[in-house]
């Protein structure tokens, strides 16, 4: 069996360029082709990266392709994922895993039945800054975990995205779009979520696109665009979370963790690096150097690479389906809590992904 894993990509939209650029850092990935429901999109991206464009049917039938990265829009993630599994291939999905928990569960169960793997973004928690924060948490610096805050707030994606309508459609909104980064990193740092309380609002029913090429077009808003709530973790910590497409500006830091003995400032979980700072009780703030690799650039294929190497070495991969399904259930719980005005218990249990070893250097994931 060859060391490299044959990989295909379905979906050649805006995010595919980041994946394909980062994939060059990982020798284990042998990208065999690109496909899209719009052949011209696959052909353009293939020309840009010197790769082969092919139809989705050809990709699914290609025996040299073992793993397919699903970069389609959220509401068809599961539909496309099931087709990939039916073709006998592993699937790595862009976030979210599905647009609701039942969908995501169907995908995970199908993979289990077929003896195949599910992976899912985000993989930013594998970045060097977040792995360094994981080391700090595991060292006991915080003492007993108490809580934290998680904030993403902006005026909306119609300012910059070339085709932003799906952000406001079913399967979009700030929770399904941005909360995966924050909740996944929190599970990496604190462990699984036990329960959720939340509320959401939709200030306007329509948005006007200000980016090109659709500037001036109107988007219907079908989902809450400002959501806030609390997550109680199994370890006892309570974290405040707010995700919004309706805020002009703010001064909150993206992610803070509080314990009885210290506070840790975690960099933006939408990125792989960033400044880490901490303060011990009775001490002063100090900047903490990043001690883990993959913090100096956008490595938005590291989860795929870790999954590919895990296939070859027969070990669990870190950005796995169980983790993504747990995060999806937590995100759906915000919607449920907003409707019921009550606490929603989380049914899925998930282990914290294993940290990346300090020996992980260079271009190949060794462990």
Question: Measured between alpha carbons, how far is residue 309 from residues 118, 122, 195, 301 in Å?
Answer: 14, 18, 34, 12
Q: Give a yes or no: residue 348 inside a domain.
A: no
Query: Nearest to residue 125, comparing CAs of 277, 317, 278?
Result: 317
The tokens 């956008």 sit on which residue? 298
**Residue 2 has what pLDDT?**
67
Q: Give a yes or no: residue 100 inside a domain.
A: yes
Q: Give a yes or no: residue 352 inside a domain.
A: no
pLDDT by 10s per residue, the chain, length 367: 568 999 999 999 999 999 999 999 999 999 999 999 999 999 999 999 999 999 999 999 999 999 999 999 999 999 999 999 999 999 999 999 999 999 999 999 999 999 999 999 999 999 999 999 999 999 999 999 999 999 999 999 999 999 999 899 988 899 999 999 999 999 999 999 999 999 999 999 999 999 999 999 999 999 999 999 999 999 999 999 999 999 999 999 999 999 999 999 999 999 999 999 999 999 999 999 999 999 999 999 999 999 999 999 999 999 999 999 999 999 999 989 988 889 999 999 999 999 987 544 444 555 4
Number of domains into which the chain is organized: 2
Number of H-type helices and E-type strands within the chain: 9, 16
Q: Are residues 42 and 177 in the same domain?
A: no
Backbone φ, ψ for residue 276 (5° rounding) = -110, 135
**Residue 362 has what pLDDT?**
44
Pair 174, 227: CB distance under 8 Å: yes
Q: 157-163, long-range: CB within 8 Å, 24+ apart, which pairs?
A: 157/245, 158/207, 158/208, 158/209, 158/210, 158/211, 158/219, 159/210, 159/211, 160/211, 161/14, 161/211, 162/14, 162/211, 162/212, 162/213, 162/214, 163/13, 163/14, 163/214
Q: Are residues 168 and 73 in the same domain?
A: no
- Residue numbers of the domain that contains 219: 128-288
Q: Are residues 100 and 138 in the same domain?
A: no
CA distance 76 to 164: 16
CA distance 193 to 345: 9
C-alpha angle 265/270/272, rounded to 5°?
75
CA distance 261 to 232: 19
Q: Are residues 266 and 309 in the same domain?
A: no
Query: Nearest to residue 176, comparing CAs of 347, 324, 323, 339?
Result: 324
Q: Give a yes or no: residue 106 inside a domain.
A: yes
Q: pTM above 0.75?
A: yes
Residue 81 three-state SS? helix
Q: Are residues 103 and 179 in the same domain?
A: no
Backbone φ, ψ for residue 329 (5° rounding) = -65, -40
Q: Are residues 115 and 248 in the same domain?
A: no
Q: Are residues 114 and 19 in the same domain?
A: yes
CA distance 68 to 90: 6
CB burial of 233-246 (b: ≥16 within 10 Å; e: otherwise) equals beeebbbebbbbbb
Q: Are residues 166 and 104 in the same domain?
A: no
Q: Are residues 306 and 272 in the same domain?
A: no
Q: Which CATH number belongs to the domain containing residue 90 in this structure?
A: 3.40.50.720
Q: Are residues 90 and 226 in the same domain?
A: no
Query: Which strand (E) or helix (H) includes residue 229?
Result: strand 226-233
Query: Which strand (E) or helix (H) includes residue 184?
Result: helix 173-190
Backbone φ, ψ for residue 184 (5° rounding) = -60, -45
Query: Nearest to residue 176, comparing CAs of 78, 35, 299, 249?
Result: 78
CA distance 272 to 130: 7
């Amino acid at each position: 069996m060859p060391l490299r894993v044959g990989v295909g990509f379905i979906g050649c939209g805006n995010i595919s360029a980041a994946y394909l650029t980062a994939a060059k850092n990982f020798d284990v990935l042998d990208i065999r082709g690109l496909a899209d429901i719009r052949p011209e999109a696959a052909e353009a991206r293939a020309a840009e990266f010197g790769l082969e464009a092919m139809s989705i049917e050809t990709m699914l039938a290609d025996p040299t392709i073992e793993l397919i990265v699903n970069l389609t829009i959220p509401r068809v993630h599961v539909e496309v994922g099931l087709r990939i599994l039916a073709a006998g291939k592993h699937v790595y999905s862009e976030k979210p895993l599905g647009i609701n928990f039942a969908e995501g569960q169907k995908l995970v169960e199908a993979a289990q039945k077929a003896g195949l793997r599910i992976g899912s973004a985000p993989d930013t928690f594998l970045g060097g800054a977040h792995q360094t924060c994981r080391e700090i948490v595991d060292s006991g610096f915080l003492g007993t975990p108490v809580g934290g805050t998680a904030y993403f707030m902006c005026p909306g994606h119609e300012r910059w995205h070339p085709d932003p309508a799906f952000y406001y459609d079913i399967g979009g909104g700030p929770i399904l779009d941005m909360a995966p980064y924050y909740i996944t990193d929190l599970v990496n740092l604190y462990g699984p979520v036990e329960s959720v309380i939340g509320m959401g609002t939709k200030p306007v029913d329509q948005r006007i696109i200000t980016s090109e090429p659709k500037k001036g077009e109107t988007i219907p808003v079908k989902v809450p665009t400002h959501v806030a709530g609390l997550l109680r973790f199994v370890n006892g910590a309570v974290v405040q979370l707010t995700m919004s497409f309706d805020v002009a500006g703010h001064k909150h830091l993206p992610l803070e963790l509080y314990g009885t003995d210290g506070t840790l400032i975690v960099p933006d979980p939408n990125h792989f690096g960033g400044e880490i700072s901490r303060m011990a009780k009775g001490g002063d703030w100090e900047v903490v150097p990043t001690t883990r690799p993959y913090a100096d650039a956008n490595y938005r294929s590291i989860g795929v690479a870790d999954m590919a190497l895990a296939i070859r070495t027969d070990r669990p991969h870190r950005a796995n389906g169980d983790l993504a399904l747990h995060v999806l259930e937590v995100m759906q719980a915000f919607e449920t809590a907003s409707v019921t005005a009550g606490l929603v218990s989380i049914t899925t249990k998930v282990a914290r992904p294993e940290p990346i070893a300090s020996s992980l250097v260079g271009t190949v994931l060794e462990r």
